[in-house]
Amino acid sequence: MPLDQSTYKIPVARTVADLRETVSAWRAAGLRIGFVPTMGALHEGHLSLVDLAAQHADKVVVSIFVNPTQFAPEEDLEAYPRTEPDDAAKLAKRPSDLIFGPNAAEMYPEGYDLQINVGGVSEGLETDHRPHFFGGVATVVAKLLCQVAPDVAIFGEKDYQQLQVIKKLVRDLSLPVEIIGGATGREADGLAMSSRNVYLTEDERARAVQLSAALKAVHDQMKSGATIDAARDLGLSILRAAGFDPIDYLEVRDADTLAPLSNTSRRARILAAAKLGTTRLIDNIDLEI
């Protein structure tokens, strides 16, 4: 199938073969390739990652693939927003050069079996609540990195544990790609941008801001000398008062290993995941210690 040059203002590769043909030509011309993997439903947070990729590369590939293997059967795979024409229109206004938009059969052909388990930093936090998640993410990202073969790939810090999992994946597989984290895009009131925010009702959207407020409260408490337990208690009370239920976790962890803080920890990360109505939100912030 040739590259689709006509549907959108930006070319789309639907197959790995077409993707490789374009990227190989760029590489043969001595160009540096940047990559931003996404599941579409693009918002300003994603687009800022595209801008960041362009600062590190001559050509930027953006993949749009709602990866079924990172959703559990009871999760929102069917309902997940699919807005490819809108996504392409947004990308056409940013420094992006190619969309890779495969279908599930292209990514997981008949007989596909490989599943990657990253271990280490993928254990705990998200995995305690979504045990399938990082296996699906690591596997699809490993495939995408092999398919695109970029020099640099950008992942949002909003999914902070995912970013650490990808760094470990790349290290453990010796993949020749630099992984860079992009700052979390935030709405004016502080809510982390997420494709899932569209699920929030008006009332939930108003209360959702308390997730970033709780992280900030934990941060400020820790900075003024409170213990982790005392700081967490305050954060949890803010989340409960806003109606978050269940609160999957609110933790202060080592920023690199995501293990509990130790004497050797140089930086910390405050991470939380909780549900508001049917929508699960996650967020995290840095804590200098």
- Decide if residue 239 touches ligand PAF (CB under 6 A): no
The answer to whether 102 contacts ligand PAF (rule: CB under 6 A) is no
Query: Which position among 48, 67, 184, 265 is part of the footprint of ligand PAF (CB under 6 A)?
Result: 67
When asked if residue 122 is in the footprint of ligand PAF (CB under 6 A), the reply is no
Within the chain, residue ranges assigned H as helices are 16-28, 44-56, 84-92, 104-107, 126-129, 133-148, 160-172, 202-223, 228-241
Q: Which span sits near ligand PAF by CB under 6 A: 111-119, 137-145, 261-269, 281-289?
A: 137-145
Any contact of residue 38 with ligand PAF (CB under 6 A)? yes
Site for ligand PAF contains 106 (CB under 6 A): no
**Residue 137 binds to ligand PAF (criterion: CB under 6 A):** yes
Nearer to ligand PAF, 100 or 244 (CB): 100
212 touches ligand PAF (CB under 6 A): no
Ramachandran sector of residue 119 (left: φ over 0; alpha: ψ -120 to 50; beta: rest): left
Stretch that binds ligand PAF, among 31-39, 52-60, 87-95, 169-177 (CB under 6 A): 31-39
Candidates 37-45, 124-132, 174-182, 274-282: pick the segment binding ligand PAF (CB under 6 A): 37-45
Burial 38-51 (b: 16+ CB within 10 A, else e): bbbbbbebbbbbbb
Does the footprint of ligand PAF cover residue 22 (CB under 6 A)? Answer: no
Residue whose CB is less far from ligand PAF, 219 or 280: 280
Please enumerate in sequence order all residues whose Cβ is within 8 A of that of 273, keeping only pairs 6 or more positions apart, or say none.
125, 126, 129, 247, 248, 249, 280, 281, 282
Which candidate, 145, 49, 151, places its Cα nearest to that of 90? Answer: 49
- For ligand PAF, the closer of residues 104 and 241 by Cβ is 104
Residue 139: CB atoms within 10 Å? 22
Interface characters, 158-187, with ligand PAF (x: CB under 6 A): -x--x-------------------------
Is the CB of 37 or the CB of 135 nearer to ligand PAF?
37
- Label residues 65-80 b or e (16+ Cβ within 10 Å = b): bbbebbbeeeeeeeeb
Strand 247-254 relative to strand 279-288, pairing: unpaired
- Nearest 5°: the CA angle 181, 186, 192 is 80
CB 59 within 8 A of CB 24: no
The one catalytic residue among 46, 129, 132, 219? 46
> What span, in angstroms and rounded, lies between the C-alpha atoms of 285 and 289?
13
61 touches ligand PAF (CB under 6 A): no
Which one of 12, 140, 163, 261 is in contact with ligand PAF (CB under 6 A)?
140
H or E segment at 33?
Answer: strand 33-38
Q: Give the nearest distance from C-beta 2 to ligand PAF in angstroms.
A: 25
Among 90, 65, 70, 66, residue whose Cα is nearest residue 80? 66
Judge whether 43 counts as a catalytic residue: no
Q: Which residues are designated catalytic? A: 46
For ligand PAF, the binding residues (CB under 6 A) are: 37-39, 67, 70, 137, 140-141, 159, 162
